[in-house]
Amino acid sequence: MSFIPVAADSDFPIQNLPYGVFSTPDNPRPRIGVAIGDQILDLSAIKHLFTGPVLAKQQDVFAKPTLNSFMGLGPAAWKEARALLQSLLAAGQARLRDDAELRGRALASQASATMHLPAAIGDYTDFYSSQQHATNIGIMFRGKENALMPNWLSLPVGYHGRASSVVVSGTPIRRPMGQMRPDNSKPPVYGPCKLLDVELEMAFFVGPGNRLGEPIPISEAHEHIFGVVLMNDWSARDIQQWEYVPLGPFLGKSFATTISPWVVPIDALAPFTVPNPKQDPRPLPYLCHDQPYTFDINLSVALKGEGMSQAATICRSNFKHMYWTMLQQLAHHSVNGCNLRPGDLLASGTISGPEPENFGCMLELSWKGTKPIELGQGQTRTFLLDGDEVIITGHCQGDGYRVGFGPCTGKVLPALVPA
């Protein structure tokens, strides 16, 4: 229990303590904080209290405008910080509880805060690690017999995304313009995307990196994973379909990717590990690990159109449906000697489960636009309309508490069509 009041359905009890970057009207400087209940604990205001063996000489990482430096310190520093924060915020600990002056400087209301990207993201990679999603997309475009590509069960397929267009939750998303070929019997056309989609994903931030040419063995991969966020990797399906052969996604994906602002530490997710999925065929040795690294995280996607009084849930899924684990993704990413750096972002790919309600994108939910998605209130969708707001949420359910991520939201703005 914390001396800060925490509602039973709060995403941010003392068992969570996710990290983020925020500013306030009275102090517009972005700074690092930890969410607790409906409050933010400003770590720049209490950095002098980090006096443990690892952090005593590293207190300035909490005065930075991003989490990159703290991420780069590694697991010993993360564990030391988490232990101190849980102690400071505990109901029975007087150090912060009874110091009214320090509390006044160190605590801010989440309602009054503006959230920023938690890290300077140097590189962003998107994987394709849900077998159900890959199978569904394969059936749509290649048929049931060729649903999975020959390499899919042997390695975590991924591509290099665009880091500059990763934005924090709440940022409006402009409908992209691009080149499409809706009629294969006619030449391509230029105009606003007509098949704008959501992708339910999660992503993790890299902690310490590796030197160029030196892979991270899978036995050490856990030491390089700082924490996890929710993600909506917005997709322009018509632009993507025309452009993706032979080099993969480009303008159909690079226009926007939204992440939730709070990075949930791996240690907060540890109580919610479940057995890893059975992988057949058995992966090559560099991808094999026995450590459970699959997490039971309940996920949902809701959509609120203009004129709707409340959002309608269109998907309920779970992170445990992933085929490839985060350890495997990171080990595979570096196996060629690629150097990862603190603050790099690695995403799961669309998270779909076995039932239709578990499908993590509108392309699947509407089955390539052939089945309207019922929203109630007289509205349906196959793909996103201008003015639609997408709300992704996720949480792990504990005994009397939940470890959540806060919302990951974005509202679609009309395309900027040339005059």
Full DSSP string of 160-191: E--GGGEEETT--EEPPEEEE-S-TTS--EEE
Q: What is the pLDDT of residues 172-217, one digit of tens each?
A: 999 999 999 999 999 999 999 999 999 999 999 999 999 999 999 9
Q: pLDDT tier at 158 (50, 70, 90 boundaries)?
A: very high
Q: Is the pLDDT of residue 377 over 90?
A: no
Percent of the chain with pLDDT over 90: 99
Cβ neighbours for 292, distance < 8 A, ≥ 6 positions apart: 273, 274, 275, 276
Is the backbone of residue 365 left (phi > 0), alpha (psi -120 to 50) or beta?
Answer: alpha
Which of 116, 133, 321, 332 does the annotation list as catalytic? 133
| Residue 103 CA to its chain's centroid (Å) | 31
Q: Is the pLDDT of residue 363 over 90?
A: yes
Q: Which class for 119: exposed (0-12), middle (13-18), buried (19 or more C-beta within 10 A)?
A: buried
3-class DSSP state of 1: coil
d(CA 155, CA 236): 26
Query: Average pLDDT, stretch 155-177?
Result: 98
Q: Is the pLDDT of residue 393 over 90?
A: yes
**pLDDT score recorded for residue 106:** 98
Q: Tokens for 306?
A: 């203009």
Q: pLDDT tier at 261 (50, 70, 90 boundaries)?
A: very high
DSSP string, 62-107: GGSSSSHHHHHH-HHHHHHHHHHHHHHHBTT-HHHHT-HHHHHHHE
**CB of 89 within 8 A of CB of 308?**
no
**pLDDT score recorded for residue 405:** 98
Query: Average pLDDT, stretch 19-24?
Result: 98
3-class DSSP state of 269: helix
133 is catalytic: yes
Q: What is the pLDDT of residues 216-229, one digit of tens each?
A: 999 999 999 999 99
Q: What is the pLDDT of residues 263-291, one digit of tens each?
A: 999 999 999 999 999 999 999 999 999 99
**pLDDT score recorded for residue 419:** 81
Q: Mean pLDDT in the chain? A: 97
Q: Tokens for 312?
A: 């309608």
* Residue count (the chain): 419
Query: Average pLDDT, stretch 373-396?
Result: 97
DSSP string, 354-367: SSGGG--BHHHHTT
d(CA 13, CA 11): 6
Query: Average pLDDT, stretch 49-74?
Result: 98
Q: Is the pLDDT of residue 315 over 90?
A: yes
